Structure 1
Amino acid sequence: MASWADEISAIIEKNIAGFGSETTATASVGTVIAIQDGVARVYGLQDVKYLELVEFPRTGLYGMAFNLEEETVSCPILGDYTQIREDDEVRTTGRIIEVPVGDALIGRVVNPIGQPLDERGPIQTTLRRPVERIAPGVITRQSVNTPVQTGIKAIDAIIPIGRGQRELIIGDRQTGKTAVAIDTIINQKGKNLLCVYVAIGQKNSTVARTLAVLEEHGAMEYTVVVVASASEPAPLKYLAPYAGCAIGEEFMESGRDALIIYDDLTKHAEAYRNISLIIRRPPGREAYPGDVFYLHSRLLERAARLNKDYGGGSLTALPVIETKANDVSAYIPTNLISITDGQIFLESDLFNAGQRPALNTGISVSRVGGSAQTAAMRQVAGSMRLDLSQFRELEAFSQFASDLDKATKARIDRGRRTLEVLKQPQYQPISVENQVMIIYAATNGYLDQVPLDQVAAWETGFYRYMETAHPEIGSEIVEKSVNGREKMSKDLLKKLGAAIEEYQKTAAPSNEQKR
């Protein structure tokens, strides 16, 4: 009997010694004391961290710890907050909010917490990143000197964008801001630039149309789309750009080049304002809380070009901002202009006048400038901005002058043809060699005798002619000036001029009409 008792007591002692060794994970538990407009006020989460994911076990929903107060925590709900009730249990997860990242996301459409929206099954990746992260420091960066070709003549010639730059796209509603961003994505086919498109607060129908365009042009092969639509609660809209940035950062830190488009940050700021006012953060100018500047600056500072010691990757950011009545001095536009390295300003008056893209060359600027241009483009488009500014002044003056001298009239005529050349249909990006050739033709007077209404037809025929009759000129521009970074030689310029004259005499549309 004694031996049995000894054996039983030994088993009990062993169980007591091992009790709790398997349950190492602990969770703070709290209770919902109030729920309003997508934000739950929770009492009792003792060890919760800022931006930690918290779970509502009864509903299966998640939230994030956003406002850490003395006795309560305000948690915006990442989902349908109408399911949450007072007295619901809340648990900490120990995980700061993070998203899946890596190549498995390329070609996929996801929400801001990385859940797929495209009915193509789960995302097969084990890599995850926190959505908030400190931006790369000064020592890890290098200067911006490699272009991001948008395929849009007006931008590549006058306001060049470099890999690692932050260029703001700004303008009123319906002026073509998204079109510029989508054209830029479409133009990256075969250029080793991965793209992340973040749609914030857009209608589902608009997002579906954008996805259809990207699919049609084969752009989804190198693009990740993050969607927080207009019907989603404010916390998901707030989270979307940070989630997209984390996905882009993974590409950058693996030594590759990536482009991220935030469309648009006006709706992001509004979502943050909604959350802030609900959790009683004091409102300031235009009812935005004071830290709305920090909201965007910490996001856009994460765009960078890393030096060789850190992999040499880059993340280029194109944030979009909507203005009202072309007012770039409003609160959020002013903030973004001061954070970014330049802006592409699209003006509603130019758009309505038929200038597409409706680029205002006076207010638009790239603070990286010629460093982000190919040598050939810098060579042919160097004086273009100044010429267009002078043309606009002369055109305004000519409205009041009855008689103009020959030189002034010639300058106005050339300016009008240059503007005509800068017009471009949507979703039709143009290769860099074709851009260089047509801008050379416009700035050197080869279009001066072409009727204004025939410039577009002349340009289309010119591309076709150069491709069939003189393909070696385009190849040499790409080989030496785009890849090799050399200026176009005098011989190459002479050959290009001769080819344009040949086209003028034999194949130009005006000649066909004469015949």
Structure 2
Amino acid sequence: MERENETLTNLTTNSLFALREARLDFQAPLLPQQIGIVNELTNGIAWVDGLPDVELEEMVSFIDGSLGIVFNIDERQIGVVLLTSSSAIKAGTEVRRTGRVADVPVGEGLLGRVINPLGIPLDSKGPLHFSQRLPLEREAPQIIDRDPVKVPLQTGIKVIDALIPIGRGQRQLILGDRQTGKTAIAIDTILNQRESGVICIYCAIGQRGASLAKLIGELSTHGASPYTILVIAEGGDEPGLRYIAPYAATSIGEYFMAKGRDVLIIYDDLTNHAQTYREISLLLRRPPGREAFPGDIFYIHSRLLERSTRLRTAKGGGSLTALPILQTEAQNISAYIPTNLISITDGQVYLSPSLFQKGILPAIDVGKSVSRIGGKAQLGAYRAVAGALKLAYSQFEELEMFSRFGTKLDEQTRKTLAHGQRIRECLKQPQYQPRSVEEQLLLLLALTSGQLDELPLNDIFSREQYILTLAPTLPQEICAAIQSGTPLSDAQRDSILELLAKRLSTQEG
């Protein structure tokens, strides 16, 4: 019994000694942490006391895991824009610093996925697999790291590829009143990249959920999902989430651009983005400026679109092409936001409501549309026909307006009008039917050579469909020359015209 007591005593002594040693060796991982308190909460904005060392655009977290971005830093409090709605956030809620800026996951695993600007999946394809995270706000590439825009981005839309060409690395604005087909142009451009190797990113800002569901279904039906990433911020989401959406989509695109890939990004639309920023700014009590927009509205869009470019070969040779969409009101392209974006971008495609109402689709007003890159970003085979085509179409539009007054017209004027009417008919194009380069050139050559001038207008569409079927019969050397970007020789052009004349005469016979 005494031995057992002695043993217990020794064990107790040894345990106490071990505990004493462990206590002396233990160092608690004490980390200083700044905690603030929510003073006020209004419409997606939280006013917070505390956090003296917080930085602008730093992310902060709330007690339930919700996130926000610091937008205002005043002497007494900070203004935090919420990224998620939460019933747990109220006056008195604790706020903690995260020590990092807002970022988004990037990588090959995003292809074919639908995500929100924070990288949270919105589809039913399981967790998101990504390579790394990149900040939403990043510096645009330096001028010395950029290459000239000279490689075409084929949209598959005849009137754009022929008359308003877009190059890889360009920023081309698409603007027009609501319901004029702006998003339709963007979708057709995505569909035309199926065989080009271009990665497409569609960024929806403040769109209705029903419209987005339809768009996602259309992309899936036409086989565009494998090379497309959709970044979605619906109209019902928090203003902060809508605001960061285009920056998140751009960071995703920059990941692929840095790896030498070509990327097309569509912002649909920056009108909603500007209105979201105005909403946030007014809630943060910033002074309104022109048309109630804050004074830095130009800066937020310029720093976004400046990130689209083509990198030189030493930097990977990738490109990021931007197609921002903008909604005008009553055809007013001289309003504040349209003029801002027109001055930032490298050209614009304007869609006219009057052309849309007449059934001229796509309703692109060639006179008000321009590409400041021009023929430098166009395949050489187009240049032989595009210049004459645009001049003839512009003359036709002026004469058509003049002829409405009932003035007597001479023979040459009537021929110009008839030719212009056929140009307009040939530039019409149904949605979801992008055309290949060979198909477009066959039609344009038939048009400019006058082979369709004697045809009744009602027969133009059927004749066009027949011409398009001739594209696979073109000689291989001509197709190779077209794709290489070199202008067609006179012999090649004559060979194509001879083929057209022969086949068209056979059809008429």
Counterpart selection for 2:364 from 359, 362, 382: 359
What do residues 4-35 of structure 1 show as CA deviations (whole Å, max 9, x unaligned)? 98996786466455413x455x4321110000
Measured in 2, the distance between the counterparts of 1:297 and 1:377 equals 31
Counterpart selection for 2:84 from 79, 82, 96: 79
- TM-score normalised per structure 2: 0.95
Question: Is this contact kept in 2: 1:172–1:324, CA < 8 A?
Answer: yes
Q: How does 1:118-267 map to 2 (within 5 A)?
A: 118-267=123-272
SS at the partner of 2:145?
Answer: coil
What do residues 13-59 of structure 1 show as CA deviations (whole Å, max 9, x unaligned)? 66455413x455x43211100000011111111222222221112x3
Q: Which amino acid aligns with 1:344?
A: V
Measured in 2, the distance between the counterparts of 1:431 and 1:38 equals 47
SS at the partner of 2:56?
Answer: coil
Question: Is this contact kept in 2: 1:438–1:459, CA < 8 A?
Answer: yes
Counterpart for residue 498 of structure 1? 498
Counterpart for residue 58 of structure 2? 52
What do residues 395-417 of structure 1 show as CA deviations (whole Å, max 9, x unaligned)? 11222244221111111100110
User: Are residue 326 (structure 1) and residue 317 (structure 2) matched?
Assistant: no
Question: Is this contact kept in 2: 1:27–1:93, CA < 8 A?
Answer: no
Distance 1:315 1:449, change over 3 A: same
Counterpart for residue 40 of structure 1? 46
Measured in 2, the distance between the counterparts of 1:285 and 1:231 equals 26
Counterpart selection for 2:431 from 426, 440, 455: 426
Counterpart for residue 19 of structure 1? 27
Measured in 1, the distance between the counterparts of 2:478 and 2:81 equals 54
Q: Which amino acid aligns with 1:480?
A: A
Measured in 2, the distance between the counterparts of 1:480 and 1:395 equals 37
Question: Is this contact kept in 2: 1:38–1:81, CA < 8 A?
Answer: no
Distance 1:282 1:493, change over 3 A: same
Question: Is this contact kept in 2: 1:169–1:343, CA < 8 A?
Answer: yes
Question: Is this contact kept in 1: 2:108–2:131, CA < 8 A?
Answer: no
Counterpart for residue 489 of structure 1? 489
In the TM superposition, what is the alpha-carbon distance from 1:69 to its structure 2 partner? 1.6
In the TM superposition, what is the alpha-carbon distance from 1:381 to its structure 2 partner? 1.0
User: Are residue 283 (structure 1) and residue 317 (structure 2) matched?
Assistant: no
Question: Is this contact kept in 2: 1:144–1:305, CA < 8 A?
Answer: yes
Measured in 1, the distance between the counterparts of 2:131 and 2:403 equals 65
Measured in 1, the distance between the counterparts of 2:451 and 2:75 equals 73
Unaligned residue ranges in structure 1 (runs of 5+):
none
Question: Is this contact kept in 1: 2:114–2:123, CA < 8 A?
Answer: yes
Counterpart selection for 2:420 from 402, 410, 415: 415
Distance 1:49 1:6, change over 3 A: farther
Counterpart for residue 96 of structure 1? 101
User: Are residue 462 (structure 1) and residue 463 (structure 2) matched?
Assistant: no
Question: Which is greater in Rg?
Answer: 2
Counterpart for residue 396 of structure 1? 401
Question: Is this contact kept in 2: 1:150–1:183, CA < 8 A?
Answer: yes
SS at the partner of 1:418?
Answer: helix
SS at the partner of 2:204?
Answer: strand
Q: Please identify, of 421-430 and 499-508, the stretch whose mean Cα deviation from structure 2 is larger.
A: 499-508
Measured in 2, the distance between the counterparts of 1:418 and 1:107 equals 38
Counterpart for residue 438 of structure 1? 443
Equivalent pairs, count = 501
Measured in 2, the distance between the counterparts of 1:321 and 1:476 equals 42
Measured in 1, the distance between the counterparts of 2:209 and 2:173 equals 24
Counterpart for residue 474 of structure 2? 471
User: Are residue 336 (structure 1) and residue 341 (structure 2) matched?
Assistant: yes
User: Are residue 112 (structure 1) and residue 117 (structure 2) matched?
Assistant: yes
Q: Which amino acid aligns with 1:485?
A: G
Q: Which amino acid aligns with 1:108?
A: R
Measured in 2, the distance between the counterparts of 1:182 and 1:13 equals 70
Measured in 2, the distance between the counterparts of 1:503 and 1:137 equals 52
What do residues 132-153 of structure 1 show as CA deviations (whole Å, max 9, x unaligned)? 1111110110100000000000
Measured in 2, the distance between the counterparts of 1:40 and 1:289 equals 20
SS at the partner of 1:349?
Answer: helix
Counterpart for residue 6 of structure 2? none
Question: Is this contact kept in 2: 1:433–1:477, CA < 8 A?
Answer: no
Measured in 2, the distance between the counterparts of 1:47 and 1:282 equals 25
SS at the partner of 2:143?
Answer: coil
SS at the partner of 1:112?
Answer: coil
User: Are residue 28 (structure 1) and residue 29 (structure 2) matched?
Assistant: no
Measured in 2, the distance between the counterparts of 1:247 and 1:90 equals 29
Measured in 2, the distance between the counterparts of 1:35 and 1:9 equals 54
Counterpart selection for 1:372 from 373, 377, 402: 377
Measured in 2, the distance between the counterparts of 1:242 and 1:385 equals 36
What do residues 440-466 of structure 1 show as CA deviations (whole Å, max 9, x unaligned)? 111110100111111111000111244
Counterpart for residue 296 of structure 1? 301
What do residues 262-286 of structure 1 show as CA deviations (whole Å, max 9, x unaligned)? 0000000111111110111110111
SS at the partner of 1:505?
Answer: helix
Q: Which amino acid aligns with 1:471?
A: L
Distance 1:114 1:492, change over 3 A: same
What do residues 179-208 of structure 1 show as CA deviations (whole Å, max 9, x unaligned)? 000000000001010000001111100001
Measured in 1, the distance between the counterparts of 2:53 and 2:343 equals 38
Measured in 1, the distance between the counterparts of 2:239 and 2:286 equals 16
Question: Is this contact kept in 2: 1:168–1:336, CA < 8 A?
Answer: yes
Q: Which amino acid aligns with 2:205?
A: I
Counterpart for residue 350 of structure 2? 345
In the TM superposition, what is the alpha-carbon distance from 1:63 to its structure 2 partner? 1.1
Question: Is this contact kept in 2: 1:166–1:342, CA < 8 A?
Answer: yes
Q: Which amino acid aligns with 1:163?
A: R
Measured in 1, the distance between the counterparts of 2:20 and 2:97 equals 33
SS at the partner of 2:453?
Answer: coil
Unaligned residue ranges in structure 2 (runs of 5+):
1-8
Measured in 1, the distance between the counterparts of 2:132 and 2:35 equals 28
State the identity %: 48
